[in-house]
Amino acid sequence: MNTIRGDAFLRADGRKGIRNTVAVVYLVECAHHVAREIQLPFREADVHLIGFGGCYPNDYAFRMLEALCTHPNVGAALLVSLGCEGFNRRGLLDAIRASGRPADTLVIQETGGTRSSIERGREWVRDVKRRLEATPRGPLAPHELVVGTICGGSDGTSGITANPGIGRAFDRLVADGAACIFEETGELIGCERVMAARAATPELGQMIVDAVAKAARYYSVLGHGSFAPGNADGGLTTQEEKSMGAYAKSGSARISGLIKPGDVPRAGGLYLLDVVPDGEVRFGFPNVNDNAEIVELVACGAHVTLFSTGRGSVVGSAISPVIKVCANPETYRSLRDDMDVDAGRILEGRGTLDEVGAEIHRLALAVAAGAKTASESLGHQEFVLGYKRFDQVGPACHPAYA
């Protein structure tokens, strides 16, 4: 298959979007309500609410919002500021405009307060939606896709059905030339040597080992690992069992690079996303819930995310569609409206891993072509962004470009 769709949204940086979303972005929690009210009438018209709640500036948060507002699925962005927060709103506005996208800032303290800010914001969104109808279009090929994967609400079936099914789909997507991103290092403890053996270079392999060791230290300081009570209730027995299940999502391709939130893969291949902050433990848990991890995958350019769940998760995401792959057949029957793929049928003899992998692969391409996922149809647009700190990756993390 050489072309997924002929009308993808063309961006000035050469990337192509599968959606043409308008982002309404609050730059502090004090502006959240106004931003939400601006977006609300357009929530079914591809206008999404994202933002950062902190008042103190944070380089990671700025980098994330810059990556998200210039994501290929985003056509325009409205920044909603209270006016006295520490966020560098001018820098973000300049970055978005430099990408060729329409963008503006609404400062509540300068526009007469809540009512007038909401009215002005809605007027801006209506106008920009009309302008986006003229977005240039062009063909999108599989090798131009970025696809992420995450597991959440895992149980004893996740590592047997959905996760390896996603791994088979990843192998197909990598063979198509797509960039595929799996995470997170905190849920891969014990698998570091196995991953290192798959790395493109020995130096990259050592970086992977070091990243997982950092995650283990981080969680040790916090007193909790990534193994949650819900995982145990669902039949998982140890961190190692969970890690092997999470690892199965990566498939069998060579690992081409190690990236951090906001890093966009520069070529096709398989990439590991390190989501655990660098330096001392200072901002609490690396990700407070699954949505924070999805946001980081999206910030790395993911057009679509494959979400494996055994116990059941109903979340979606702002900006990029989420495909739910259900590991447990009982969960699938219970939450049918929220699921896209019944991987649990493997346990009941109604399918094989290869068949499930092929279905996930086909669905990822169909969603890239415009088909809606279950979470999209239900209106899910969850978003979480907090404080973190990361060092820049070095050339060993991208051996193909060293």
Domain ranges of the chain: 5-138, 145-401
Mean local confidence (pLDDT), 66-74? 98
pTM for the model stands at 0.95
* Per-residue CA distances from 4 to 8, 115, 235, 377 (Å): 9, 43, 39, 21
Report CA Rg, the chain: 20
Q: For all residues of the chain together, what is the average pLDDT?
A: 93
pLDDT of 170-225, one tens digit each?
999 999 999 999 998 888 988 999 999 999 999 999 999 999 999 999 988 988 76
The H or E element containing residue 106 is strand 103-107
DSSP designation for 199: B
Tell me the β-bridge partners of 74: 21
Tokens coding 346: 């493997």
DSSP designation for 151: E
Tell me the β-bridge partners of 103: 77
- The full DSSP string for 244-303 is HHHHGGGTTSPEEEEE-TTPPPSSSEEEEE--SPSSS--SSSS-SSHHHHHHHHHHTT-S
**Closest CA relative to residue 145, chosen from 308, 325, 343, 1:** 1
Say what the pLDDT of residue 235 is: 62
Contact 151, 249 (CB under 8 A): yes
d(CA 16, CA 368): 10
* Per-residue CA distances from 250 to 180, 262, 273, 293 (Å): 9, 20, 11, 16
Q: What is the CATH number of domain 5-138?
A: 3.40.50.2300
**Closest CA relative to residue 146, chosen from 268, 240, 246:** 268
Say what the pLDDT of residue 144 is: 97
